[in-house]
Amino acid sequence: MTQKKIKRLGILTGGGDCPGLNAVIRGVAKPAMNDYGLTIVGIEDGFEGFVEGKMREISRDDIAGIIGQGGTILGTSNKGDPFHYPTEGMNGVEIVDASQRVLKHYKGWGLDALITIGGDGTMHISNKLSELGMNIVGVPKTIDNDLDATDQTFGFDTALSIATEAIDRLHTTASAHHRVMVIEVMGRYAGWIALQAGLAGGADIILLPENPFKWDSVMRRVIERSTRGNRYSIVCVAEGAKAADEEVVIKETDVKRTDPIRFGGIGEHVAGRITLETGLETRTTILGHLQRGGSPTAYDRVLATRYGTKAVELAVNGEFGRMVSLRGLNVTSVAIKDAISKQRLVPVDGEIVNTARAVGTSFGDE
């Protein structure tokens, strides 16, 4: 059976924004237009825009000079899951299945295939839409780096660089005032940013979601440093970290999201306990969206471009239901259903953790 030649290729960016999204859009659009003569249809504001029917065709002018721009020229949303779509009803917000509206727009816009750029949530949605008959190729995006089917997602390197620089800067002010500095970084279930930024920035304590910590271990480390002449300490904590005898700290819940839990506040919680139990002056810095903003690093620009061009290749060859993936030095692909089978979490006895322990870093578990 001869594969139908695609003519109209859709593209959307789903979930939270991430450095490198525009580089992927450019990596898709340039070869699609120049090598295959495709029309690129940009779906605005992620799956929310897909449900609401918001799209525009992408021109060469749209992608000129965007490789180094942060954000996304298409806009995005983390509240637009078509299978869990929030609408205003008689009794307030109601959650409905709006997937048929997506299928209607997919067909109405004459799309032959769709490239979805996003993290775990976007890939779960993509897999469901594939099962409904849509031709989809996925591109992995998340600063948490928690997709198991790829060695690295674009955006992670940029977030890691920002977090590392922040720790570097905290060292100078912490030493000047002889304080304990707690820095909270993103990482809901996977602590890759906290682990690698903490190691690169020389944090004294790293607290991970995968490894519940003990309060007495944290207190012992900061007191030891204070009493032996190291008059300040740096604690790097992932937003999803928690004490062994406590629940995760939640900032708020939002029923409009498929995952309604919004993490945040563990940094302040840790700082408060340190001050209370040790008497040491402690301050908190929460990086939050700074990690997702600004220009992508050179590494992320290159990786994002490679992902984009590979996604077009898969679409043109009719290899749908797949996600591009970095394995070793090569960009390849895996089935989307396999890509979402499990998260890529930090192995608590892995080589990077052991490296950090070897140079004296505490994980609050001794």
168 carries an active-site annotation: no
CB 26 within 8 A of CB 66: yes
Task: Please tell me which residue in 17, 45, 81, 144 is annotated as part of the active site.
Answer: 144
Q: Which two tokens stand for residue 330?
A: 């090569």
User: Cβ contacts of residue 151 below 8 Å, gap of 6+?
Assistant: 325, 326, 327, 328
List active site positions. 144
